[in-house]
Amino acid sequence: MSHQLSVIGTGGVIGNGWPLLERQGLAEDGVATIDELIDRVVEGCEYQAAGRLVFELDRRRDNFLVELLALTQKYWPEAEGLEGRI
């Protein structure tokens, strides 16, 4: 992840990369450099992942979305015979 973010930062993927962020005042948000921003993003992602592998996170996300879809179908107006209403 760190490598991917650094590639973006050098402009290798999307134009000029991070310079726009630098002009928008990263220092005002407590981030001194792009490298520090990358480190903070990576640390936050690793913290949230809690050691789980990507496929486990994918499965967890997919299971959530399936359950969310089932809930919307259960409580959506059409389930009560009220078509076209929210």
Domain boundaries, the chain: 1-51, 52-86
Q: What is the mean pLDDT of residues 26-53?
A: 80
Per-residue pLDDT at 48 exceeds 50? yes
Give percent of the chain with pLDDT exceeding 70. Answer: 58
Could you tell me the pLDDT band of residue 52, with boundaries at 50, 70 and 90? very high
DSSP, res 33: S
Q: Residue 1: which residues within 8 A CB-CB, separation 6 or more?
A: 41, 42, 45
Per-residue pLDDT at 27 exceeds 80? no
Name the pTM for this structure. 0.53
Per-residue pLDDT at 50 exceeds 60? yes
Q: What is the mean pLDDT of residues 40-55?
A: 92
The pLDDT assigned to 61 comes to: 96
